[in-house]
């Protein structure tokens, strides 16, 4: 039976005064009443402004999420033990591609990240290689399971952490700005973040070779390529120097490498020549390269799109303290506050992390 809005109101009025428990089971249809949304409901989950008469226009750009999904399909072509898990976000995480290619190796567990994480541990115990693609802020729901079901027993589970960093208009509940901090304190897990989409592919390849839990974090948006540094096979726990300077050492992780390079262009105009390092691993650290660089730089800056407390910068701070390096250090990251919604560029400016603001902070060193 199809009910109009008026009929639904009439039903609720009839039952509101009933003096015993009652269940109203309503089957809703996503996009009902708007033909474009009815035809492609997943495309209208969260949208920016568009022409209502024409519907959303398809984009020629490839999202990072879709890129990840296609890459995982290629990996599964070569390795029958690879399986994919989503918590009700197949299109959002790009796993819709995997679902079509390998429907019997694809699992949608619904909105149940805790179960998805424990389920992944169970599959790994039986010799499979589960990849759980999940938004950064949603993975917080499975934190206990990350520690107790996966990391303690060193299960071969890989977390593909989508929407890491600021996500724009999705706002406070979706900004993925805590994962570097909450994963930093968990033993036995490898945590990495690529400088661009090419390096993301290399990290996914590496994840299949690591014995133990792995997390790869990457931002929302379309694929991009920096084309600096090496794109050869990545060795576990290695950083790379993208630009050699002399005045200040800038250690950037993940999506912030691109920002660090833009900041360098600003500083060069001020006759400040920074060394830019792609610190692509949170855990393990490249202690050998860090030691060499800290001997030749007296000023150090870390940049991360994660809460500044407990994350990448904190890990670098501890290394400096533990090894008695006499350097001045500045940690740049998300301040201790919940960031509102808005475009990513607007939000970075609001929290003091635009390219110009970061350059100013470095100049003050």
| Residue 78 contacts residue 101 (beta carbons within 8 Å) | no
Is 250 in a helix, a strand, or coil? Answer: strand
Catalytic residue, chosen from 113, 199, 240, 304, is: 113
292 is catalytic: no
Dihedral angle computed from the Cα positions of residues 2, 6, 9 and 11, in that order, rounded to the nearest 10 degrees: -50
| Residue 161 contacts residue 128 (beta carbons within 8 Å) | no
From the list 146, 148, 142, 84, the residue with the least C-alpha distance to 114 is: 142
Residues 6+ away with beta carbon under 8 Å from 355: 259, 262, 263, 266
62 is catalytic: no
Cα-Cα end-to-end distance for the chain? 69
Catalytic residue, chosen from 30, 32, 125, 328, is: 30
| Residue 168 contacts residue 123 (beta carbons within 8 Å) | no
| Residue 335 contacts residue 350 (beta carbons within 8 Å) | no
Residues 6+ away with beta carbon under 8 Å from 149: 117, 118, 121, 155
From the list 229, 230, 233, 226, the residue with the least C-alpha distance to 201 is: 233
Q: Report how far residue 98's alpha carbon sits from residue 102's, in angstroms, rounded to the nearest whole number.
A: 6
Catalytic residue, chosen from 43, 70, 74, 141, is: 141
141 is catalytic: yes
Looking at the DSSP bridge assignments, the partners of residue 307 are: 334
- Residues identified as active-site: 30, 113, 141
């Amino acid at each position: 039976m199809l009910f109009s809005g008026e009929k639904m109101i009439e039903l609720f009025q009839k039952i509101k005064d009933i003096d015993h428990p009652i269940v109203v089971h309503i089957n809703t249809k996503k996009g009902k009443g708007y033909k474009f949304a009815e035809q492609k409901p997943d495309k209208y989950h969260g949208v920016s402004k568009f022409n209502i008469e024409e519907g959303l226009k398809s984009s020629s750009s490839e999202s990072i999420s879709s890129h990840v999904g296609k890459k995982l399909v290629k990996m599964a072509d070569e390795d029958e033990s690879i399986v994919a898990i989503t918590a009700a976000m197949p299109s959002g995480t790009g796993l819709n591609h995997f679902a079509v290619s390998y429907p019997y190796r694809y699992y949608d567990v619904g909105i149940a990240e805790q179960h998805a994480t424990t389920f992944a541990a169970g599959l790994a115990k039986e010799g499979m290689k589960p990849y759980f693609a999940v938004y950064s802020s949603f993975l917080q729901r499975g934190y206990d399971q990350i520690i107790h079901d996966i990391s303690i027993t060193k299960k071969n589970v890989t977390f593909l952490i989508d929407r890491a960093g600021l996500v724009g208009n999705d706002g406070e509940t979706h900004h993925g700005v805590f994962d570097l901090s909450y994963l930093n304190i968990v033993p036995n897990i490898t945590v990495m973040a690529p400088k661009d989409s090419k390096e993301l592919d290399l990290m996914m390849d590496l994840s299949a070779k690591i014995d133990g839990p792995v997390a790869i974090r990457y931002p929302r948006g379309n694929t991009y390529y920096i084309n600096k540094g090496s794109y050869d096979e990545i060795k576990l726990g290695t950083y790379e120097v993208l630009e050699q300077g002399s005045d200040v050492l800038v250690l950037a992780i993940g999506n912030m490498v691109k920002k660090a390079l833009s900041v360098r262009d600003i500083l060069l105009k001020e006759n400040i020549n920074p060394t830019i390092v792609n610190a692509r691993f949170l855990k393990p650290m490249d202690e050998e390269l860090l030691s060499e660089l800290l001997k030749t730089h007296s000023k150090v800056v870390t940049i991360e799109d994660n809460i500044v407390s407990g994350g990448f910068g904190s890990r670098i701070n501890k290394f400096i303290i533990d090894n008695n390096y006499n350097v001045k250090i500045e940690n740049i990251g998300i301040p201790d506050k919940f960031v509102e919604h808005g475009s990513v560029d607007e939000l970075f400016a609001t929290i003091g992390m635009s390219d110009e603001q970061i350059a100013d902070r470095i100049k003050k060193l």
